[in-house]
Amino acid sequence: MSTTEETLKPNIVLISASDLENEIKQLEDKIKQINDNNNIEFEKIKSELDKLHTITGWLNIAKSQGIWKSKTCRYVNNDSCSAWSISEPEKLGIPQDAIFVTENGSKKVVVAKFPELCITCPLYEPKKI
């Protein structure tokens, strides 16, 4: 018999119905376990996303406060804060494009580009009308 004939021979394995039922049951159990694990992971991820959504909401509220304060503060002149001089803006996370260097070399924050500085500013005073 040639090799081709040998590979074409049918391989028949007899399996009892109870063996098939057991294998199917095992596969069902594995699938259920995978689904349960996926559901647990999904709930964990959903919980983390919900937390991030809440934090983002609070950050948006804080940013809107900073924008409002930057537009109404008496220390804001030409969109820059005259009350603060920031020596190392990069350490505070202030972007370089939000820094204005004055004639005397002090660094001021352009609050129109970075209103976050105004959020908790203790020097805030409303403009006098």
C-alpha torsion sign, points 101, 102, 103, 106: negative
Residue 129 has pLDDT above 60, yes or no: yes
Residue 15: predicted pLDDT: 72
Residue 63: predicted pLDDT: 93
Residue 4 has pLDDT above 70, yes or no: no
- Angle 17-29-19 from CA coordinates, rounded to 5°: 15
Ordered by start, the domain boundaries in the chain are 19-118
Read off the pLDDT of residues 29-85 as tens digits, 9 standing for 90 and up. 999 999 989 999 999 999 999 999 999 999 999 999 999 999 999 999 999 999 989
Residue 8 has pLDDT above 90, yes or no: no
| Over residues 85-104, mean pLDDT | 91
